[in-house]
A = this chain, B = another copy of it.
Amino acid sequence: MTIRPTPMPAARAAEDDTSGGRRGRGRRSRKAGLVQPAWSRIENPLKPVEIFSEDQIEAIHETAMRVVEELGIELMSAPARALFRAAGAEVDEASGTVRLDRALLLELVARAPRRFSLTPRNPARALEIGGRSMVSTLVAGPPAVHDCIRGRRPSNLPDYRNFIRLAHELNAIHMLGNQVAAPIELPAETRHLDCYDANIRLTDKSFHCTAIGPQRARDGIAMMAIAKGMTLEEMAAEPAVSTIISVNSPRRFDDAMADGLIEMARHGQATAITPFTLMGAMTPVTLPAALAQQTAEALFGIALTQLARPGAPVMYGAFTSNVDMRTGAPAFGTPENAKANIASGQLARRYGLPYRATPSNASNAADAQAVWETQMSLWGCVMGGANMLYHGAGWLEGGLCASFEKVMLDAEMLNHIYAFLAPTEVDDDTLGFAALARVPTGGHFFGDAHTLARYETAFFTPMLADWRNHETWVADGAKTATERATAAWQQALADYAEPALPEDRSEALAAYVATRREEIARDGI
């Protein structure tokens, strides 16, 4: 138990300060109360696990190719269809169906880079996406938020801002996802501006743009460019933001998403094309068919990014779980979901693409189920060699609720995984024969020089785990890990210090938002 015994009062956590970038600065020298591993680049050194043979992967690939060639994908955006038509695809304007042969599809996919970087306003927070790198994001999208003090409520801006502060404070989280909890009390047309503003001012980590339509994507790109002090052209050469492009599976891209995709790609910013599918509902009930459909849809979207801008950074996104066949309810962290996470990695590597995956769960509480389902899917991601763990922290209720406690539990679990992935040196020093020879049979190594020299760094130090004996734990209130997580997110918010943003950029950002609010009020867009 590494949390200091003086957590902030709950009221402080609920408070939201919107006065700008100064308040927190004075606190920066304050020693943080929450003990956590340092920010670091995570590499997964493990050879990815394979649940399908090469032949089986080729059979899934073959079916995916037939889907694109024979069945086609419905593309509801006319500008997007025009790009495909110009490239030689067969386009049926009446139905919006695009069919293209595998040679063209794979030639376009091959234009995508094998890896890329995301460099936000603080270059120290730059991320590598691809290869063996692994990054984690905050949960994205829930319409509700929950903490164990104030209970469940509709998502809102003050909670949004506190989640961003937590994401900034926790080194386990490398970047934000899309809106962590949509501030639904704000007008839908300008909500994205409030979110981008918070994303930029409250953290210096990378964030996701909301690519529902080109203008929302463009606002995010433009605001990040201001924060970086760059032109859009300069930022195209140094990508900073990304987005998730969802698919209306089966086999349909709506116009807002397709246009958002094109906007992101044209500006050289990153996309993850992610068919979110539940087997038995949006795909056939069998995993190979689901993977074939997922691959067809993902590669089609990836091809579109390369038509918009050859070499645009893009990821193979995968989020295939299943429904409860008795009720139709969505299920996450299932054995089938874990398998899909591993197999999707095999497919992403088949095409030489960075791979986005998701740890998730269907639990209604930050409890044992939330953890075992998260772990099932998380290990699927890790064994599958995922490069981005989207929704990495805070996901509850199958994605319908962002949980403050779950953010802390997930950060703890991610820290465990990162420490697990750190390589262990084998040399004379770590083989420790001299120490083995020094300690007598039945003795102990506590006081040995080999132990004392490595005392402080030998092992991972957890943030929430309580390893005290039962009596001591009871005497201290017998708190469960979830109760300790409540104290921990309050401590993290107390520790939080807002990262400085240069005055001129801060003003330019405010001016951009003001102008856009006027435009949207006037033009609706």
A-side residues, CB < 8 A to B, are 45-47, 49-52, 56, 59-60, 63, 66-67, 70-71, 73-74, 97, 144, 152, 248, 250-252, 279-289, 292-293, 322-331, 334-336, 338-339, 362-373, 375-376, 379, 383, 397-398, 400-401, 409, 412-413, 416-417, 419-420, 422-427, 429-433, 435-437, 439-446, 448, 450-451, 454-456, 458-462, 464-470, 473-474, 478, 480-482, 485
With beta carbons under 8 angstroms apart, the residue of B56, B367, B441 that contacts A252 is B441
With beta carbons under 8 angstroms apart, the residue of B63, B325, B460, B482 that contacts A335 is B460
**Nearest B residue (CB) for A70:** B437
A282 lies within 8 A of B444 (CB):
yes
A–B complex contacts, Cβ < 8 Å, 17 sampled: A46-B51, A49-B383, A63-B436, A73-B441, A252-B442, A281-B444, A284-B450, A286-B429, A286-B454, A286-B458, A288-B431, A289-B433, A329-B467, A336-B460, A368-B485, A372-B412, A372-B413
Question: With the chains together, A155 CA to B45 CA distance in Å?
Answer: 44
Residues of chain B with a CB closer than 8 A to A459's CB? 279-280, 285, 322-325, 331, 334, 336
B450 lies within 8 A of A66 (CB):
no
**Given contacts A280-B459, A426-B288, A433 and B468 within 8 Å (CB-CB):** no
B431 lies within 8 A of A280 (CB):
no
Residues of chain B with a CB closer than 8 A to A464's CB? 369
Residues of chain B with a CB closer than 8 A to A439's CB? 250
Residues of chain B with a CB closer than 8 A to A422's CB? 335
Question: With the chains together, A49 CA to B51 CA distance in Å?
Answer: 13
**Given contacts A379-B375, A441-B73, A481-B367, A468 and B327 within 8 Å (CB-CB):** yes
With beta carbons under 8 angstroms apart, the residue of B440, B458, B465 that contacts A362 is B465
For this chain, the copies found in one complex come to: 2
Q: State the 4 A-B residue pairs at the shortest beta-carbon distance, nearest first.
A: A289-B432, A335-B419, A375-B375, A369-B481
**Nearest B residue (CB) for A283:** B445
A445 lies within 8 A of B339 (CB):
no
B368 lies within 8 A of A409 (CB):
yes
**Given contacts A331-B467, A480-B367, A480-B368, A458 and B339 within 8 Å (CB-CB):** no
Residues of chain B with a CB closer than 8 A to A431's CB? 59-60, 63, 286, 288-289, 292
Residues of chain B with a CB closer than 8 A to A363's CB? 465-466, 481
**Given contacts A46-B51, A335-B460, A416-B372, A329 and B288 within 8 Å (CB-CB):** no
A446 lies within 8 A of B328 (CB):
yes
- Report A408 CB to chain B, min CB distance, Å: 10
**Nearest B residue (CB) for A328:** B446
**Nearest B residue (CB) for A412:** B372
B424 lies within 8 A of A52 (CB):
yes
- Report A477 CB to chain B, min CB distance, Å: 11
- Report A53 CB to chain B, min CB distance, Å: 8
**Nearest B residue (CB) for A332:** B467
Residues of chain B with a CB closer than 8 A to A368's CB? 366-368, 370-371, 409, 480-482, 485
Question: With the chains together, A4 CA to B339 CA distance in Å?
Answer: 29
A49 lies within 8 A of B52 (CB):
no
**Given contacts A284-B436, A468-B327, A480-B365, A248 and B458 within 8 Å (CB-CB):** no
Residues of chain B with a CB closer than 8 A to A435's CB? 284, 289
Residues of chain B with a CB closer than 8 A to A370's CB? 368, 481
Question: With the chains together, A427 CA to B63 CA distance in Å?
Answer: 11
A287 lies within 8 A of B49 (CB):
no
- Identify the interface centre among A46, A322, A439, A474: most chain B CB within 10 Å of its CB: A439
**Nearest B residue (CB) for A251:** B441
- Identify the interface centre among A46, A66, A430, A454: most chain B CB within 10 Å of its CB: A430
Question: With the chains together, A429 CA to B459 CA distance in Å?
Answer: 49
A458 lies within 8 A of B285 (CB):
yes
Question: With the chains together, A362 CA to B481 CA distance in Å?
Answer: 12
**Given contacts A280-B445, A426-B288, A372 and B375 within 8 Å (CB-CB):** yes
**Given contacts A426-B59, A459-B334, A285 and B480 within 8 Å (CB-CB):** no
B329 lies within 8 A of A430 (CB):
no
Residues of chain B with a CB closer than 8 A to A412's CB? 372
- Report A301 CB to chain B, min CB distance, Å: 14
Residues of chain B with a CB closer than 8 A to A279's CB? 458-459
With beta carbons under 8 angstroms apart, the residue of B289, B362, B383 that contacts A430 is B289
- Report A224 CB to chain B, min CB distance, Å: 32
Residues of chain B with a CB closer than 8 A to A437's CB? 70-71
**Given contacts A46-B49, A289-B435, A372-B416, A445 and B365 within 8 Å (CB-CB):** no
**Nearest B residue (CB) for A443:** B250
With beta carbons under 8 angstroms apart, the residue of B52, B325, B436 that contacts A250 is B436
